[in-house]
Amino acid sequence: MSRILHPRSVALVGVSGRAESLNARPLRYLLDRGYEGAIYPINPNYDELEGLRCYENLADVPEPVDLVLVLVAASQSAAIVRQAGTVGATAAVIFASGFAETGAAGAELQEELRGAGRKAGVRVLGPNCQGVIYAPTGMAATFTAAADRPLGGQSGVAYVGQSGAVGGSVLDLAAEMGLGLTAWVSTGNQADLDLVEVAAALVEDDAVQVVMLYAEVISDGAAYTHLAQQVRVAGKHLVVLVSGRSDAGRRAAASHTGSMLGDDVAFVLTSKRYGVTLVDDVDELLAVAATVGSVRDMQGRRVGVITTSGGAGSLAADHCASHDLELPELGPDAQDRLAPLVPDFGALANPVDVTAQLFNRDGSARALGEVCTIVAEDPEVDLVAVVLTMVTGELGAAVAKDLTATASRLDKPLFVTWLAGNGQTKQGRDIFRAAGMPVFKSVGDLARTAGLLAPSSSQPAQQSTAEAADTDDTVGLLRECVAGRASEARLLTALGISQPASTVATNAHEAAAAAEGFGRPVAMKVYATLLAHKSDVGGVLLGVLPADAADVYDELMSRATEHAVDEVGGVLVQEMISPGTELIIGATSAADGYAPVITVGIGGVTTELYRDVASELAPVTAEQAEAMLRRLQGWPLLAGFRGAAPADVKAAAEAVASVSRAVAGLAGQELEFEINPLIVAEDGGGAFAVDLLAHSPSDSRS
């Protein structure tokens, strides 16, 4: 990446002399942006371009070349990359389309390009990309029309994205809002360099404090996790927008857990663990990036709202509530200090309504700054939000000066939204912009951005210090169980999770004898290792009397035959566990580099109906598992709802932690694991795994 962002020389192969051509833009932009390195146009059809000698081919360039911009057709690109290696270039940007995005033939061209780069020692950005801009060096190797406008470049904000069109929009919109991007990189098809590797290089750049990432997919979980860790260690910020976070994979999941969790759950949990901000659209991407690098970090979700209009204050309160932000009532000390400043018909509690009358007094512009200071000093406030209405002209400029000065003194962030047209507030907005202080265009945008930047009300567990597994034997047994070579009972015993006594009957006589042995009603279930949900085929009957066990055996086997259940091993005769709170413990792991995910929720046959679950990256400790249980909407059922005895939460939490440790030991292996239900008895009575599923989604047997 250093030769892409800081090249000492650039060759443009296929550059055009026709002003209207896209292939003419990179040369013009390099010259316009003040790039100071050597520039070598390459095109046999010209002797000179833009006052520079034009060479017939790369081999004719008299000096070493660091970076080659490949402005030729897809079919010629690999050959140019090979030539680049012969002249000492170590990086190339491929702009052409017509590669893997077009089908099989294009994919072959892309593979040829990748191979050419590797053999020549040339790192490739693209193909099908729109290039790179790096303001500190005047590097503007792009053809996006967004680069026609002045771009600034001192913001410390960088953008990396796969889509060239979205990237161009981000560049243009950023310039429109006065956010001059320091770096902008379009990665396209990512034949070689991908956006995570590019972002990692930018995080190491002293000129960059915030990295925006737009991805269509982030498939390398290990690389993304390392990037998120790198950003946190560097004290910088990563803001990520991912499109196509599809739920399609849920339909193929065998477990309830897999069907309830989105395809991107590991990505989301990884992002939250390391403080990455996830956004849902380009507006959010830009708003968060512009804000996070210019204000102090939020320490909580409590907002002190100050407004010049009671109606605007009500709107602010509504929007804050919709984004899980609190508006605490200000303490008596703060209200006493505000009273001399706020007109009698204003409001002191929160929102603080200073009314337009505040500005009819001498020194009124400074008075708003004093109000902000008092609100910020209240210990119940984490963020000060100022909603200006029609404070315009010279007064608006004076207020802007006072608020920017106040914000620089406060130890808490101060956000501003200005509900007035740009024409009457331009002078004031320019003051905010010069101070690097964003002004939100609406109360909703302010609240949405604050909600994204504030610590979550349900923070994910920090990385567990738990061992990856209880023992290597436990991990090995889980692996064997997933492969269908070990019994569920052995695995539960190794995990330390209690289970009902049971036996597998292979005929009606054995079923009757087993039920008689228990001496009370039993549960009977079709026993088939490949059957994920027995109840879906009528394969579970509860409360079976010993006298009826033989007939029930025949009925269950008949149902299994009717539904074409494979590899039926008989019928499981199981003791009935006393009623308790039913939970589900699930775990999923994939071969994508992300950590496995452990999930707990309200279980039973209705678990997918209510979808009341909490998830974390595995492993978790018992304490973290209990915190997950407390996040459930159904937590009161465990705590003792309406006078009921509390459940054995400790036993449930230990079961979750035990599963998480074992699954963490199989990171990188595809699996779905589920206990449903785990029946949790009253406090001290333990927790019992009644049914278990363990399989690999890629296993043809499933």
Find the DSSP H helices in 381-463. 393-409, 422-434, 443-453
Question: Pick from 260, 63, 94, 272: which is nearest to 189 by CA?
Answer: 94
Structure confidence at residue 310 (pLDDT) = 85
- Spatial distance between the Cα atoms of 111 and 597, rounded to a whole number of angstroms: 34
Neighbours of 504 (CB within 10 A): 17
Residue 250 has pLDDT above 50, yes or no: no
Structure confidence at residue 605 (pLDDT) = 79
Residue 552 has pLDDT above 80, yes or no: yes
Structure confidence at residue 259 (pLDDT) = 45
Contact 458, 628 (CB under 8 A): no
pLDDT in tens, 317-369: 999 999 999 999 999 999 999 999 988 888 998 999 988 777 776 656 678 99
CA distances from 636 to 631, 633, 645, 656, 659 (A): 10, 8, 11, 18, 24
Residue 567 has pLDDT above 90, yes or no: no
Find the DSSP H helices in 2-103. 2-5, 25-32, 74-86
Question: Pick from 28, 9, 1, 55: which is nearest to 140 by CA?
Answer: 28
- Spatial distance between the Cα atoms of 376 and 222, rounded to a whole number of angstroms: 40
Find the DSSP H helices in 323-392. 332-338, 364-376
Cis bond upstream, residue 619 (ω within 30): yes
Question: DSSP state, 462?
Answer: P
Beta-strand relationship, 183-186 and 157-161: parallel
pLDDT in tens, 256-306: 444 445 568 999 999 999 999 999 999 999 999 999 977 888 899 999 999
- Spatial distance between the Cα atoms of 552 and 573, rounded to a whole number of angstroms: 10
- Spatial distance between the Cα atoms of 441 and 414, rounded to a whole number of angstroms: 15
Structure confidence at residue 379 (pLDDT) = 96
pLDDT in tens, 49-97: 999 999 999 999 999 999 999 999 999 999 999 999 999 999 999 999 9
Structure confidence at residue 296 (pLDDT) = 82
- Spatial distance between the Cα atoms of 88 and 613, rounded to a whole number of angstroms: 56
pLDDT in tens, 188-228: 999 999 999 999 999 999 999 999 999 988 989 999 999 99
Contact 215, 241 (CB under 8 A): yes
Quote the tokens at residue 555: 């009925």
What is the dihedral angle through the alpha carbons of 559, 561, 564, 565, rounded to the nearest 10 degrees? 70
- Spatial distance between the Cα atoms of 27 and 46, rounded to a whole number of angstroms: 14
pLDDT in tens, 460-512: 555 554 444 455 778 888 888 887 777 788 899 999 999 999 999 999 999 99
Q: Which residues pair with 159 in a beta bridge?
A: 184, 212
Structure confidence at residue 68 (pLDDT) = 98
523 Cβ neighbours under 8 A, 6+ residues apart: 500, 540, 541, 542, 543, 544, 572, 573, 574, 575, 576, 690
The dihedral of CA 150, 153, 154, 160: what is its sign? positive
Structure confidence at residue 70 (pLDDT) = 98
**Mean per-residue pLDDT, 22-30:** 95
Question: DSSP state, 502?
Answer: E
What's the start-to-end Cα distance of the chain, in Å?
Answer: 44
Band of residue 249 on the pLDDT scale cut at 50, 70, 90: very low
Starting from the edge strand earliest in sequence, which strands make up the sheet with 67-70, in order? 38-42, 9-13, 67-70, 91-94, 123-125
Residue 388 has pLDDT above 60, yes or no: yes
Question: Among the ranges 47-51, 457-461, 689-693, which has the highest mean pLDDT value?
Answer: 47-51
Question: Pick from 23, 281, 293, 32: which is nearest to 173 by CA?
Answer: 281
Residue 432 has pLDDT above 90, yes or no: yes
pLDDT in tens, 588-625: 999 899 999 999 999 987 888 889 999 999 999 999 99
Band of residue 245 on the pLDDT scale cut at 50, 70, 90: low
Contact 308, 367 (CB under 8 A): no
Contact 472, 660 (CB under 8 A): no
Question: For the chain, what is the mean pLDDT?
Answer: 90
Burial of 213 per CB tally in 10 Å (0-12, 13-18, 19+): buried
Contact 597, 260 (CB under 8 A): no
The dihedral of CA 651, 656, 661, 665: what is its sign? positive
Dihedrals phi, psi of 597, to nearest 5 degrees = -115, 130
Neighbours of 473 (CB within 10 A): 10
Question: Pick from 634, 621, 616, 619: which is nearest to 677 by CA?
Answer: 634
Question: Pick from 528, 486, 532: which is nearest to 506 by CA?
Answer: 528
What element of type H or E holds 518? helix 508-518
CA distances from 478 to 409, 475, 671, 702 (A): 57, 5, 10, 17
Helix (H, G, I), strand (E, B) or coil at 442: coil
Band of residue 171 on the pLDDT scale cut at 50, 70, 90: very high
DSSP secondary structure, 205-230, as one string: -TT-SEEEEEES----HHHHHHHHHH
Query: 253 vs 407, which has greater pLDDT?
Result: 407
Cis bond upstream, residue 351 (ω within 30): yes
| Percentage of the residues of the chain whose pLDDT score is greater than 90 | 73
What element of type H or E holds 146? none
Quote the tokens at residue 269: 């949990």
- Spatial distance between the Cα atoms of 439 and 445, rounded to a whole number of angstroms: 10
* pTM (predicted TM-score): 0.86
Band of residue 459 on the pLDDT scale cut at 50, 70, 90: low
pLDDT in tens, 253-267: 444 444 445 568 999
Scored b (16 or more CB within 10 A) or e, 56-76 reads eebeebeeebbbbbbbbebee
- Spatial distance between the Cα atoms of 451 and 438, rounded to a whole number of angstroms: 16
Cis bond upstream, residue 64 (ω within 30): no
Domains identified in the chain and CATH numbers? 1-130 (3.40.50.720), 144-295 (3.40.50.261), 303-453 (3.40.50.261), 501-575 (3.30.1490.20), 581-695 (3.30.470.20)
Q: At what angle do helices 622-630 and 649-664 cross, to 10 degrees?
A: 120
Question: Pick from 535, 529, 665: which is nearest to 603 by CA?
Answer: 535
Structure confidence at residue 148 (pLDDT) = 87
**Mean per-residue pLDDT, 164-187:** 92
Contact 445, 417 (CB under 8 A): yes
Residue 530 has pLDDT above 80, yes or no: no
- Spatial distance between the Cα atoms of 135 and 485, rounded to a whole number of angstroms: 59
Contact 542, 576 (CB under 8 A): yes
